[in-house]
């Protein structure tokens, strides 16, 4: 009899285990994450006009990816409401991480100047005469108190490096702060475009006018 009771208990345990396993897919459906809401993607434009055209140069240039703090080194579009906290706009992002996007736009701005033989990023295998190293220090919209219209602040430090000795021969700070035309998000993006365009222009003109003493 004890053998029969043992067999019965074993079959009952297996039946309960099978039932609990069959229920797992049903229970799991309740913990699947919800589909995230779509995010609008934005990009900015390179500089195409330079006022007085920069003097033409006969050398090649590599533009390195800007260095940036972790809060800015992101595809999320940054904003500040006080000096101690960085936040991000909801449901909006750049098409690339901000430093990578700025690198691409800076390269295109050099090309648009029509004043340089060749310019690109390191990955394309150029043997440059100079490098441009940049730090992206500020790249955010700043809201002052309850004012719904922000200023957009873009600040970059550019260093021109002579190759192959890798000697820094010039440094410049390009800083631009632009008040948005209104409180709409498209106004904020337009202000980003204007501020960054001003900074890109300054770096292009500065770099092309550098003299290697």
pLDDT of residue 191: 98
Residue 119, H or E segment: strand 118-120
Residue 10, H or E segment: helix 2-29
Residue 14 · residue 7 · CB < 8 Å = no
More confident site: 76 or 11: 76
Of 84, 46, 36, 68, which Cα lies nearest the Cα of 137? Answer: 68
Return the CATH number of the domain spanning residue range 40-208: 3.40.50.10610
Average pLDDT value over all residues in the chain: 86
Mean pLDDT of 176-182: 98
Residue 175 · residue 195 · CB < 8 Å = no
- The tens digit of pLDDT for each residue in 38-96 reads 899 999 999 999 887 788 999 999 999 999 999 999 999 999 999 899 999 999 999 99
pLDDT of residue 211: 81
- Collapse the DSSP code of 89 into the 3-class scheme (helix H, G, I; strand E, B; otherwise coil) and give the result: strand
Residue 19, H or E segment: helix 2-29
Instruction: Report cis status (omega within 30 of 0) of the bond before 11.
Output: no
Q: Please give the backbone phi and psi of residue 74, each rounded to the nearest 5 degrees, phi first.
A: -155, 160
Alpha carbon distances (Å) from 98 to 60, 64, 90, 120 = 25, 14, 16, 18
pLDDT above 70 coverage of the chain, percent = 82
Q: Please give the backbone phi and psi of residue 98, each rounded to the nearest 5 degrees, phi first.
A: -55, -45
pLDDT above 90 coverage of the chain, percent = 73
- The tens digit of pLDDT for each residue in 193-207 reads 999 999 999 999 999
Distance from C-alpha of 38 to C-alpha of 72, rounded to nearest angstrom = 22
Flag whether pLDDT at 13 surpasses 70.
no
- The tens digit of pLDDT for each residue in 123-150 reads 677 789 999 999 999 999 999 999 999 9
The band of 36, judged by pLDDT with boundaries at 50, 70 and 90, is low
Flag whether pLDDT at 169 surpasses 90.
yes
């Amino acid at each position: 009899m004890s053998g029969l009771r043992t067999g019965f208990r074993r079959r009952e345990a297996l039946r309960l285990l099978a039932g609990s396993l069959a229920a797992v897919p049903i229970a799991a459906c309740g913990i699947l994450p919800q589909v995230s809401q779509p995010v609008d993607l934005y990009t900015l434009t390179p500089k195409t006009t330079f006022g007085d055209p920069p003097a033409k140069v006969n050398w090649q240039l590599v533009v390195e990816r800007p260095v940036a703090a972790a809060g800015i080194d992101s595809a999320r579009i940054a904003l500040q409401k006080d000096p101690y906290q960085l936040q991000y706009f909801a449901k909006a992002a750049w098409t690339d991480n901000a430093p990578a996007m700025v690198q691409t736009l800076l390269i295109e701005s050099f090309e648009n100047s029509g004043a340089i033989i060749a310019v690109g990023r390191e990955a394309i295998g150029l043997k440059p005469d100079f490098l441009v190293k940049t730090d992206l220090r500020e790249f955010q919209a700043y809201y002052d108190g309850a004012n719904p219209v922000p200023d957009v602040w873009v600040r970059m430090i550019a260093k021109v490096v002579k190759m192959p000795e890798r000697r820094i021969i010039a440094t410049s700070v390009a800083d631009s702060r632009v008040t948005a035309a209104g409180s709409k998000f498209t106004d904020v993006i337009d202000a980003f475009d204007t501020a960054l365009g001003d900074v890109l222009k300054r770096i292009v003109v500065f770099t092309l006018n550098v003299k290697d003493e």
